């Protein structure tokens, strides 16, 4: 059932009026079933582009992404995505949002109810079933978005800076929830973030990416038992090391912007 | 307590205007034929509202209560507004959804719509009579035209402004084209569509009064024109006030419907 994600020599070029922009270049990665992988880098490093390619929203210009012997060309419920902007349907209640993916698959009503109830329990959303998203806090909305994806029971979860808009405490709370769910359900998670600490707290493996063209700068295994202590020496050693790598790319990003500004 | 205070505050200016008007009339500042006193208008309105004849044997109480001229006229006008609006909006909604969702259909229909849109419904009156003769059909036609364009333009805009993030989320959940249309694009566009409905109903209400001045022999528009022929200015004003009240009732009803359908919408608190 579970299959690795094979990212095979992926390139992505965006055609713009100012010329071609190479967003991704020579990306080769294999993500094992059940693995929690973070894509880390400054904005413009192509980490979201890579995630969108795996999701099937923007297929690569060259190379391919293969899951279960199939090349990914379009989005599908086997790769549930959690967006930074939540992307809940505001006209549906919490319960309806979670049920929607199952209704699309024409599941039985009884089965849908069962799954929705389980997920409401799992994410502590029981009292919010009939609320509309506008009545929920950011953290609550993101719980619903996670439940909506879990309802699909897809082996792979894609997360695009899902906690980026949340305050620090809510963020830590949801990170712990996510780890709990991941350990319980054994999903493969590909998680985009620009927070070094978040990536070390969560991931089995951190892929640091370079600024334009986006390539793999470092493929770092995080060999620390969970729950991880952000105050521990090992955590901070890794944080310092990855911080150095990310800042190099951030500097290239800043230089590139300065150059652009100078041309204008 | 607050409500009473708000009401008193809101009633202050209208009451002052009425007192001033009544005083001017009684002082004989203007002729009763040109500008009747508000008390005369109110008396006329009351007479206009009440049944004209005594209850006949065998006539139900309800039928008798509604046999007054005013209620009959209000009912006729409302019926025309609703029928005409349903025709206009019923055509505009599917066309708007298609034009908003599909750029080729938009390119095909948009030039024609842009040419027809600026023509006021009133300019169709001669054609309406020529095509549909007298009676309700020309009214329906004119009202439908008045309601058509606001609903059409807002539906197109509503479909076009649907946030791409919802489409991406839906595609990610495995949604096909039809479900995307009915369960994502249509609900996402409802705030715009309902705004169009509200404008469309307003236009329909303007057009119904005009249309009743040409081709029918009942309705509020007909009644005030008829009253002019007899120089019954009190009845003209009573009719106008009824038009205002009916318009207010329609707008309140549509606004209630809006609040219910958009109870999920962020901008609305209730």
The DSSP line for B116-171 is HTTS-GGGGHHHHHHHH-SSHHHHHHHHHHHHHHHHHHHHHHHHHTS-HHHHHHHH
A12 φ, ψ to 5°? -140, 125
* β-bridge pairing A156-160 and A188-193: parallel
Q: What is the mean pLDDT of residues B88-102?
A: 95
- Evaluate whether A77 touches B173 at the Cβ level (below 8 Å): yes
Instruction: Pinpoint the alpha helices (H) of chain B.
Output: 2-26, 38-49, 61-65, 69-101, 103-116, 125-132, 136-160, 164-172, 177-179, 186-212, 220-229, 233-261
Q: What is the mean pLDDT of residues A202-229?
A: 93
Query: How many structural domains does chain B have?
Result: 2
Q: Hey, are the CB atoms on A91 and B172 less than 8 Å from each other?
A: no
Determine the Cα–Cα distance for residues B253 and B147; give it in Å rounded to an integer: 17
Residue B237 shares a structural domain with residue B209: yes
Rounded to 5°, the CA angle A92-A93-A97 comes to 65
Task: Report the gap between the CA of A148 and the closest CA in chain B (Å).
Answer: 9
Report whether pLDDT(B257) > 80.
yes
Q: Which residues of chain A neighbour B183 with C-beta distances below 8 Å?
A: 100
* β-bridge pairing A5-16 and A70-71: unpaired
Nearest CA in chain A to B162: A89
A211 φ, ψ to 5°? -75, 140
* β-bridge pairing A216-221 and A70-71: unpaired
Token pair 């509604």: residue = B66
Determine the Cα–Cα distance for residues B61 and B67; give it in Å rounded to an integer: 10
- Evaluate whether A249 touches A209 at the Cβ level (below 8 Å): yes
Q: Which residues of chain B neighbour A91 with C-beta distances below 8 Å?
A: 187-188, 190, 264-265
Is B174 near chain A, with CB under 8 Å? yes
Report whether pLDDT(A186) > 50.
yes
Q: Please name which of A50, A245, A80 lies closest in space to residue A155, comparing C-alpha atoms.
A: A80
Q: For B20-37, what is each residue's pLDDT tens digit?
A: 999 998 888 888 888 899
Q: What is the CATH number of the domain that holds B190?
A: 1.10.3720.10
Q: Which residues of chain A neighbour B187 with C-beta distances below 8 Å?
A: 89, 91
Residue B19 shares a structural domain with residue B47: no
- pLDDT band with cut points at 50, 70 and 90 for residue B270: very low
The pLDDT of residue A253: 87
**A-interface mutation test, from B167, B173, B186, B259, most A Cβ less than 10 A away:** B173
Q: Hey, are the CB atoms on A148 and B173 less than 8 Å from each other?
A: yes
A31 φ, ψ to 5°? -110, 120
Q: How far is CA B61 from each of CA B50, B76, B212, rounded to the nearest angstrom?
A: 13, 20, 29
Stronger pLDDT, A136 or B215, i.e. the higher one: A136
Q: Hey, are the CB atoms on A75 and B171 less than 8 Å from each other?
A: yes
Tokens of B96: 């708007």
Tokens of A157: 């979860």
Rounded to 5°, the CA angle A81-A84-A90 comes to 85
The continuous run of DSSP H or E covering A121 comes out as helix A109-122
Task: Report the gap between the CA of B260 and the closest CA in chain A (Å).
Answer: 12
Question: Is B56 contained in some domain?
Answer: no
Residue B45 shares a structural domain with residue B16: no
Q: Which residues of chain A neighbour B267 with C-beta distances below 8 Å?
A: none
Q: Hey, are the CB atoms on B175 and A87 less than 8 Å from each other?
A: no
The pLDDT of residue A37: 97
- pLDDT band with cut points at 50, 70 and 90 for residue A255: confident
Q: Hey, are the CB atoms on A152 and B188 less than 8 Å from each other?
A: no
Nearest CA in chain A to B267: A134
The pLDDT of residue A264: 65
Residue B4 shares a structural domain with residue B126: no
Residue B252 shares a structural domain with residue B120: yes
Question: Is B270 contained in some domain?
Answer: no
Q: How far is CA A23 from each of CA A130, A195, A220, A258, rounded to the nearest angstrom?
A: 42, 20, 22, 19
Determine the Cα–Cα distance for residues B88 and B90; give it in Å rounded to an integer: 5
Q: Hey, are the CB atoms on B183 and A100 less than 8 Å from each other?
A: yes
Is B14 near chain A, with CB under 8 Å? no
B117: Cβ–Cβ under 8 A, 6 or more apart, which residues? B149, B153
A20: Cβ–Cβ under 8 A, 6 or more apart, which residues? A13, A14
Tokens of B141: 């036609």
Tokens of B171: 């595609």
Q: Reply yes or no: is the peptide bond before residue A227 cis, omega within 30 of 0.
A: yes
Question: Is B202 contained in some domain?
Answer: yes
Please tell me the least confidently modeled range out of A38-47, B17-26, B63-72.
Answer: B63-72
Tokens of B188: 């996402």
Residue B95 shares a structural domain with residue B191: yes
Determine the Cα–Cα distance for residues B37 and B31; give it in Å rounded to an integer: 10
Residue B90 shares a structural domain with residue B13: no
Is B270 near chain A, with CB under 8 Å? no
- Evaluate whether A75 touches A19 at the Cβ level (below 8 Å): no
Q: For B104-162, what is each residue's pLDDT tens digit?
A: 999 999 999 999 999 999 999 999 999 999 899 999 999 999 999 999 999 999 999 99
Q: Which residues of chain A neighbour B261 with C-beta distances below 8 Å?
A: none
The pLDDT of residue B267: 63
Token pair 């849109």: residue = B117
Q: Hey, are the CB atoms on A77 and B172 less than 8 Å from each other?
A: yes
Token pair 């790769």: residue = A79
Is A135 near chain B, with CB under 8 Å? no
Token pair 């202050």: residue = B12
Tokens of A203: 């991931």
Q: Which domain holds residue B182?
A: 36-51+64-261
Q: Residue B122, by phi and psi: left (phi above 0), alpha (psi -120 to 50) or beta?
A: alpha
Is A185 near chain B, with CB under 8 Å? no
Stronger pLDDT, B1 or B82, i.e. the higher one: B82
Nearest CA in chain B to A89: B166
Task: Report the gap between the CA of B170 and the closest CA in chain A (Å).
Answer: 8
The continuous run of DSSP H or E covering A71 comes out as strand A70-71
Q: Hey, are the CB atoms on B266 and A89 less than 8 Å from each other?
A: no
Question: Is B130 contained in some domain?
Answer: yes
- pLDDT band with cut points at 50, 70 and 90 for residue B269: very low
**B-interface mutation test, from A87, A94, A97, A112, most B Cβ less than 10 A away:** A87
Quote the distance between the C-alpha of residue B189 and its chain's center.
22
Is A13 near chain B, with CB under 8 Å? no
Domains of chain A with bracketed CATH: 5-78+160-263 (3.40.50.300), 90-153 (no CATH)
Residue B16 shares a structural domain with residue B101: no
Task: Report the gap between the CA of A75 and the closest CA in chain B (Å).
Answer: 5
Q: Hey, are the CB atoms on B174 and A101 less than 8 Å from each other?
A: yes
The pLDDT of residue A3: 86
Task: Report the gap between the CA of B255 and the closest CA in chain A (Å).
Answer: 18
Question: Is B134 contained in some domain?
Answer: yes
Q: Hey, are the CB atoms on A75 and B190 less than 8 Å from each other?
A: no
The pLDDT of residue A39: 96
Determine the Cα–Cα distance for residues B248 and B185; give it in Å rounded to an integer: 31
Question: Is B167 contained in some domain?
Answer: yes
Q: For B109-118, what is each residue's pLDDT tens digit?
A: 999 999 999 9
Report whether pLDDT(B268) > 90.
no
Residue B21 shares a structural domain with residue B69: no
Q: Which residues of chain A neighbour B169 with C-beta distances below 8 Å?
A: 81, 83, 87-89
Question: Is B18 contained in some domain?
Answer: yes
Residue B147 shares a structural domain with residue B242: yes
Q: Which residues of chain B neighbour A97 with C-beta distances below 8 Å?
A: none
Q: For A129-175, what is each residue's pLDDT tens digit?
A: 999 999 999 999 999 999 999 999 999 999 999 999 899 999 999 99
Report whether pLDDT(B57) > 80.
no
- pLDDT band with cut points at 50, 70 and 90 for residue B211: very high
Residue B91 shares a structural domain with residue B119: yes
Residue B21 shares a structural domain with residue B101: no
Question: Is B268 contained in some domain?
Answer: no
Task: Report the gap between the CA of A248 and the closest CA in chain B (Å).
Answer: 32
SS (H, E, C) A8-61: EEEEEEEEECCEEEEEEEEEEEEECCCCEEEEECCCCCCHHHHHHHHHCCCCCC
């Amino acid at each position: 059932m579970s299959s690795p994600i094979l990212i095979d020599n992926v390139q992505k070029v965006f055609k713009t009026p100012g010329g071609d922009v190479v967003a991704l270049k020579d990306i080769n990665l294999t993500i094992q079933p059940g693995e929690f992988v973070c894509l880390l880098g400054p904005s413009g490093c192509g980490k979201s582009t890579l995630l969108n390619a795996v999701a099937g929203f923007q297929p690569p210009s060259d190379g391919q992404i293969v899951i279960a012997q199939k090349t990914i060309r379009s989005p599908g419920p086997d790769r549930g995505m959690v967006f930074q902007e939540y992307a809940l349907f505001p006209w549906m209640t919490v319960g309806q949002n979670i049920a929607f993916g199952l209704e699309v698959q024409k599941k039985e009503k009884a089965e849908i109810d069962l799954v929705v109830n389980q997920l409401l329990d799992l994410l502590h959303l029981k009292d919010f079933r009939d609320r509309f998203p506008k009545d929920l806090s950011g953290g609550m909305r993101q719980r619903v978005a996670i439940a909506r994806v879990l309802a699909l029971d897809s082996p792979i979860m894609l997360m695009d800076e899902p906690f980026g808009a949340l305050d620090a405490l809510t963020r830590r709370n949801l990170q712990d929830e996510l780890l709990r769910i991941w350990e319980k359900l054994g999903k493969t998670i590909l998680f985009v973030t620009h927070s070094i600490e978040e990536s070390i707290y969560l991931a089995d493996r951190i892929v640091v990416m370079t600024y334009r063209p986006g390539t793999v700068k470092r493929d770092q295994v995080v060999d620390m038992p969970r729950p991880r202590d952000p105050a521990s020496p090992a955590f901070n050693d890794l944080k310092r090391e990855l911080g150095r790598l990310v800042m190099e790319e951030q500097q290239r990003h800043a230089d590139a912007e300065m150059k652009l500004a100078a041309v204008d | 307590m607050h409500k009473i205070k708000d009401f008193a505050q809101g009633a202050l200016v209208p009451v002052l205007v009425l007192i001033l008007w009544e005083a001017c009339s009684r002082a004989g500042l203007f002729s009763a034929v040109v500008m009747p006193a508000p008390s005369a208008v109110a008396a006329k309105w009351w007479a206009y509202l009440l049944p004209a004849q005594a209850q006949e044997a065998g006539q139900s109480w309800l039928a008798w209560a509604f046999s007054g001229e005013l209620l009959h006229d209000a009912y006729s006008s409302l019926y025309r507004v609703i029928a005409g609006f349903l025709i206009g909006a019923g055509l505009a909604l599917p066309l708007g959804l298609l034009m908003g969702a599909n750029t080729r259909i938009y390119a095909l229909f948009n030039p024609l719509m842009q040419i027809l849109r600026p023509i006021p419904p009133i300019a169709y009156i001669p054609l309406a009579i020529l095509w549909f003769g007298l009676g309700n059909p020309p009214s329906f036609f004119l009202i439908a035209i008045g309601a058509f364009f606001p609903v059409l333009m807002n539906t197109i805009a509503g479909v076009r402004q649907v946030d791409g993030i919802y489409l991406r989320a839906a595609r990610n959940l495995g949604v096909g084209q039809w479900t995307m249309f009915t369960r994502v694009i249509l609900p996402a566009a409802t705030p715009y569509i309902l705004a169009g409905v509200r404008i469309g109903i307003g236009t329909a209400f303007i057009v119904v009064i005009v249309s009743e001045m040409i081709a029918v022999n009942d309705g509020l528009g007909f009644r005030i024109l008829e009253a002019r022929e007899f120089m019954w200015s009190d009845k003209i004003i009573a009719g106008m006030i009824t038009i205002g009240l009916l318009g207010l009732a329609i707008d309140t009803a549509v606004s209630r419907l809006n609040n219910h359908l958009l109870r999920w919408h962020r901008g609305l608190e209730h």
